[in-house]
Amino acid sequence: MTPTMLLALVGIFLVARIVLSLRPVMAGSRGKSAAFAREYLDPFIVAGIAAFLLITFVARTYYIPSASMLPTLQVGDVLLVNKFQYRFGLPHEGDIVVFPPPIPTSDDFIKRVIGRPGDRLAVKNGVVYLNGKALSEPYISERPSYNLQIRNYGIYVTELGDPNSYAALDPHTANVPPRRDWTAPDRIPKGCYFMMGDNRNDSEDSHVWGFAQFAGRFEAGPEIGKPASFTGRAFLIFWPFSHARIL
């Protein structure tokens, strides 16, 4: 249930509460309607308001619909997402984040933070290099089948075994900001994050649609000008119980 749906439900209960509170005066029912409202509706209203505040400002659930984060997250897993953490701090390398991607979709995406603003990043022969050092990634399902470089104010991708065919992501179809937002031609731009799924070869992520953005508005791509954000950090799998664990 979305926050909007929950708020609408609370509104219905609140209207019913007001109507029932007025009914004894109008119909002479000796307060039975008011007693019913206090006993049954008031707890629902209070619980609904508390739940609305919780999922809007603190935490919410997220259902995993795809295999892009295998083996870390299974299709059908239900996560608890901390919406409070990023109000007071920035994402860390390795965080599993829920966010609206810079492409048209009705759903948020969930990926892992690999590169942050100012980082140098490359993928070579199946290994991810961050600031010149190979990452140890025991959480991935398999090594990526592509090479990637961030250089010359762009993201360049090619298939393995074809080192001479690097192609830059198109700023019209991917969020690759203009030069003014880059601090250097080979470093991730300010406010931008490079996101990857743990199921590297079955994940639509930053090697396809460019950078995610922590805030502001998307600087390029099909969602240019629309609000960008990070919804929150996934920190707990709580369903099914057989998968329950801290992330």
pLDDT in tens, 177-231: 999 999 999 999 999 999 999 999 999 999 999 999 999 999 999 999 999 999 9
- Supply the pLDDT for residue 165: 85
**124 is an active site residue:** no
pLDDT digits (tens, 9 = 90+) for 136-146: 999 999 999 99
Is pLDDT above 90 for 14?
no
- Supply the pLDDT for residue 157: 96
Active-site pick, 33, 83, 106, 111: 111
At the topology level, CATH places domain 59-246 in Umud Fragment, subunit A (2.10.109)
pTM for the structure as a whole: 0.79
| Bridge pairing between strands 167-168 and 154-159 | antiparallel
- Is residue 97 a contact partner of residue 230, using CB atoms and an 8 Å limit? yes
- Supply the pLDDT for residue 83: 85
Cα-based angle 28, 29, 35 (whole degrees, multiple of 5): 135
Residue type at 111 in one-letter notation: K
Is pLDDT above 50 for 26?
no
Domain boundaries, the chain: 3-57, 59-246
**68 is an active site residue:** yes
- Supply the pLDDT for residue 25: 46
Interhelix angle 3-27/42-57, nearest 10 degrees? 160
Active-site pick, 68, 83, 203, 206: 68
How large is the average pLDDT for residues 84-111?
A: 94
- Supply the pLDDT for residue 27: 45
Q: In terms of Cα–Cα distance, which of 10, 193, 183, 229 is closest to 95?
A: 193
- Is residue 102 a contact partner of residue 210, using CB atoms and an 8 Å limit? yes
- Supply the pLDDT for residue 71: 97
pLDDT digits (tens, 9 = 90+) for 29-76: 455 555 655 566 556 555 555 455 455 555 678 899 999 999 999 999
Q: What does the block give as tokens for 242?
A: 């057989």
